[in-house]
Structure 1
Amino acid sequence: MVVIVLTACPPGLRGHLTRWLLEISAGVFVGKVTGRVRDELWAAVLEHCKSGKAFLVEPAQNEQGYAFRTHRHEWEPVDLDGLSLILRPNTAPAGSGMKRGWSKAAQYRRARK
C-alpha cells in the first residue's frame, strides 16, 4: 500500500498519478503498486512538483511496517532508536505568548511524583 499526499502541485502531476493510484481526496493518492513503479512515481513527483510539497508513505521491513519520504516539507522524518517519527518545527512567532518548555499540567504531574 502506497500513500502520496501532494500540496500545491500542478494538475498534470495529479493526472499522471491517477494512472496508477486512486485519488481519494484532493491531493491524496492511495494504491498498491510494485516497488519499481513506486520509485518511478516518486521520481515523477520530484521532477514535476516545483514549489509544492509531497509526502510518501510506503511499506518497509521495520517495526512500524512503513517508512516516509518527503519533498519540500517542514515536517521531516527522523529515526529514533529504529522508529520513524515526524519532527515538527516550532513555528510559534516570537511575540505570540506561547512559551517553550513543559506545560503547567506536566509540571504539576512531575511535582506529584
Structure 2
Amino acid sequence: MLVIVVENAPPRLRGRLAVWLLEVRAGVYIGDYGRRVREMIWGEVCAYISEGNAVLAWSAPNEAGFHFDTCGKNRRIPVDFDGLRLVRFMPEAALPSELGPASEPDRRRGTGRR
C-alpha cells in the first residue's frame, strides 16, 4: 500500500495522480502498487510538484512498518538516525521569504494584532 499527500500541487499533477490512485481527501491519494510503479509515480510527482510539496509513504518490512520520502519545499526534513527514518523540523526563520514573517499565521487565525 502507498499513500501520497500533496500540498499546493498544480492541477496537472493532481490529474496525473488521479489516473493511478484514489483521491480520498483533497490532496491525499492511496493505492496498492509494487516498487516499479511506485517509483514511476513518485518520479512524476517530483517532476511536476513545482512550488508545492509532497510526501510518499509505503508499506515496508522494517521496524516501523513503512518507509517515506518527501519532495518540494517543506519545514519537515527526513533524516536517518541509526537506520530509523525520523522527521526534523526546520526553524521558522529558515522558511522561504515568500511565506512572510512568523506573525502572519497568527493574523490568519484571528489571534494576532488587528
The two structures have a TM-score, normalised by structure 2, of 0.74
RMSD: 2.2
Distance 2:12 2:24 in 1: 17
Distance 1:14 1:28 in 2: 10
Distance 2:59 2:77 in 1: 18
Distance 2:3 2:65 in 1: 13
Q: Do residues 47 (structure 1) and 36 (structure 2) align?
A: no
Q: Who is 2:77 aligned against?
A: 76
Distance 1:64 1:78 in 2: 14
Q: Do residues 14 (structure 1) and 3 (structure 2) align?
A: no
| TM-aligned CA deviation for residue 90 of structure 1 | 2.8
Q: Who is 1:63 aligned against?
A: 63
Q: Who is 2:110 aligned against?
A: none
Letter in 2 for 1:56: L
Q: Who is 2:36 aligned against?
A: 36
Letter in 1 for 2:82: D
| TM-aligned CA deviation for residue 60 of structure 1 | 2.2
Count of residue pairs the alignment pairs up: 96
Structure of greater Rg: 1
| TM-aligned CA deviation for residue 31 of structure 1 | 1.0
Distance 1:52 1:90 in 2: 19
Identity %, equivalent residues: 44
3-12 or 79-88: bigger deviation? 79-88
Distance 2:36 2:12 in 1: 21
For structure 2, the residue ranges without an aligned partner over 5 or more in a row are: 94-101, 104-114
Distance 1:21 1:33 in 2: 9
| TM-aligned CA deviation for residue 91 of structure 1 | 2.2
